[in-house]
Chains A and B, each alone.
Chain A
Amino acid sequence: MHKLILILFVGALLHAEDADNGKKLYTTVGCYECHGRVGQGGSAGPRLAPRPVPLQALVAYVRHPSGAMPPYTSKLVTDAQLVDIHAFLASIPPPAKDIPLLNQ
């Protein structure tokens, strides 16, 4: 299993990341449905961004998820596409601090 993930990971690294394409893919393949349109998470899925998990961990989990997450095989989302989705998640800025409405 670890060997397979490593092969996938190395292959993915060879692809130049494209955050804009990742943003489109994030919507079209349905990531937003559970994780929110900017990866903020919610009751259906955990927060993914900002500061997503490392690409290797993302690929590993997407291929072999547990809990409620459905699996995405490489037929559904390629390694190169996951690189782009990861780049999109990494591009999302952190939230502002000290939002007054959240101190009530």
Chain B
Amino acid sequence: MKVEVQTTDRPGSDFMMDVLKSLDFEYVCSNPGSSFRALHESVINYGGNRSPEFITCCHEESATAMAHGYAKIEGKPLLVFAHGTVGLQHASMAIYNAYCDRVPVYVVLGNIMDATRRRSFVDWAHSVQDAAAMVREYIKWDDAPLSLPHFAESAVRAYKIAMTPPFMPVVIVADADTQESPIPDGTDLRIPKLTLTAPPQGDSGAVAEAARLLVAAESPVILAGRAARTPAGLKLLVELAETLQTAVIDLRQRMNFPSRHPLNQTMRGRAAITNADVILGLEVEDFYGAVHSIGQQIEYRTRPITRPGAKLMSITAGDLFLRSNYQDFQRFQEVDLAIAADAEATLPVLIEAVKRQLTDDRKRAFQDRGAKLAASHQEAQEKARADAAYAWDASPISTARLCAELWAQIKNEDWSFVSESAFVSGWPQRLWDFSKHYHHIGGQGGYGIGYGAPAAVGAALANRKHGRLTVNIQCDGDMMYAPGILWTAAHHRIPLLNIMHNNRGYHQEVMQVQIMANQHNRGVDRARIGTTIDDPPVDYAKLAQSMGMYGEGPVSDPKDLAAALRRGIEVVKRGEPAMIDVVTQPR
């Protein structure tokens, strides 16, 4: 194409922006890169830096993990821009986490397809024949459109695919030349209408059979994995449980079930599973692990913990979409009824099917069962409170004390807890009153460390417009992957209370190496080599301060904790992020 004047007021990237705006992205998280410089410029000038607004990230892994955390609060994807080469290489682990966690993330990659349009050696190093190939094993769909009409079609298709359960990341490659060149005269530019696909509901016959088994069961258990995708999912699961007066075990990958509901038996989950005659798994990732005991000694031993004859059923969209290479699909679990469908979408018809089969006799039996479960729940909760008292005055500070002190200060706020609770022995769910969809968002998905800090910032970004107090108990090992995310939070005034769970190590790995030393019968005093972050100790308060964030600590005396948390919360309520560094017990 010959260009008479070396400017254009109709670059292809403006039309790409029109397409992306039609998909209603609030933000684009990105570390700037030359292969998508035209798109970047269109966001901030042509698009007015609104919907999407450019969020400056210091690492592509952080940008993608922000989108991961955001989607779990807001229920829709964020945009991520990255180089098709070095940017995607950085982003790839975070994409894998989102894939494993069944979360939609929408990635647009810059790439210079036409070799004759590359201007420097850097352009060559940043170009690739098939950009998405690197992550194709752990995304749901990708395309590399060759024209603007093709971009429009593929961009809308990608959104639709990402938002059909099972949700997953998608990738669109935006050719740099198509971005930067003037829109060719006479191009038929049209943005296809987006119609989201209704999520797949379970087969009616299979749902009726599931209802029959549940109604007839004496000790049914519902296992909830990533069951509640939306606030409606939480309400529906409560309705199903209350209709049946059945035990629910929340595997905490989403906020599935209120923590203080009398039917919540999570704290005595193994006992409930062992006693169950019918177990219904809703979007359970590792059903095998939930119903088996797997020994950790050298000799591999596994045995079912279910009682003989127990009927197992699953409803999961995971049965609709599987990849081969990465093995996150877990060990094969035999079940008696498998329904390939989205659990949340299936719950309304399952509830209706259950209600149709109820009799007065069964209702009376359910009430008796519900009373027993309520008593068990109460007993478990009292035990949790008693257990939390141990090491109450210890230094380093116990994770139970940390969570109890924190709960005292947030319980009357509209709070949102956005970090993994397993690293603090599950104390939040054991001590706090979780009842709303945004009270918990689960964990990493693929256990790729480095997710925690940026996902929390992304979740806080989503919570900001709702005025929620976002709380992140931040592991120190995770924080050290890409601490630049603190600057992003400070720069964009994202209110977030970060509380360092500073056990000064990659503690999971301390324990793993310890197991190996024991099994190899040597050097049990050396497991800390290569696994700890304590010589020198990291000053996380100063780290935060260096990024323009309020920072306080290290707090190692439990008597000082309440005041430090109060000061941090005051900062967050003013609309800023804060960091309180707390030196903690290992778990």
A-to-B contact residues, CB < 8 Å: 28-30, 32-34, 36-44, 47, 49, 65-73, 75-77, 95-97, 99, 101-104
Say if the beta carbon of B408 comes within 8 Å of chain A.
yes
Instruction: Determine if A43 and B422 form an interchain contact, defined as CB atoms under 8 angstroms apart.
Output: yes
Instruction: Determine if A71 and B411 form an interchain contact, defined as CB atoms under 8 angstroms apart.
Output: no
CB-defined contacts of B387 to chain A, threshold 8 Å: 40-41, 47
Say if the beta carbon of B235 comes within 8 Å of chain A.
no
Pick 18 A–B contacts, CB within 8 A, sort by A: A30-B524, A32-B586, A40-B390, A40-B398, A43-B425, A43-B426, A47-B390, A66-B295, A67-B296, A69-B296, A72-B518, A76-B522, A95-B390, A99-B389, A101-B405, A101-B408, A102-B385, A104-B404
Q: In the complex, which residue of chain A has the Cβ closest to the Cβ of B519?
A: A70
Report how many residues on chain B are interfacial, defined by Cβ distance under 8 Å: 41
CB-defined contacts of B431 to chain A, threshold 8 Å: 102
Q: A30-B517, A34-B586 are in contact. List 4 more A-B contacts (CB 8 A).
A: A37-B586, A39-B390, A42-B586, A95-B389
CB-defined contacts of B408 to chain A, threshold 8 Å: 101, 104
CB-defined contacts of A69 to chain B, threshold 8 Å: 296
Say if the beta carbon of B365 comes within 8 Å of chain A.
no
Query: What CA separation (Å) do A41 and B427 show in the bound complex?
Result: 12
Stretch at the interface among B452-460, B477-485, B508-516: B508-516
CB-defined contacts of B586 to chain A, threshold 8 Å: 32-34, 36-37, 42, 44
Instruction: Determine if B296 and A68 form an interchain contact, defined as CB atoms under 8 angstroms apart.
Output: yes
Instruction: Determine if A96 and B524 form an interchain contact, defined as CB atoms under 8 angstroms apart.
Output: no
| Interchain residue pairs A-B with the least CB separation, the first 5 | A70-B518, A40-B391, A40-B390, A95-B389, A42-B587
Instruction: Determine if B389 and A76 form an interchain contact, defined as CB atoms under 8 angstroms apart.
Output: no
CB-defined contacts of A67 to chain B, threshold 8 Å: 295-296
Q: In the complex, which residue of chain A has the Cβ closest to the Cβ of B301?
A: A66
Instruction: Determine if A76 and B518 form an interchain contact, defined as CB atoms under 8 angstroms apart.
Output: yes
Most buried by A among B296, B388, B391, B404: B391
CB-defined contacts of A43 to chain B, threshold 8 Å: 422, 425-426, 587
Instruction: Determine if A95 and B524 form an interchain contact, defined as CB atoms under 8 angstroms apart.
Output: no
| B343, chain A: closest CB distance, angstroms | 26
User: Given A47-B387, A73-B521 in contact, is the A101-B585 Cβ separation under 8 Å?
Assistant: no
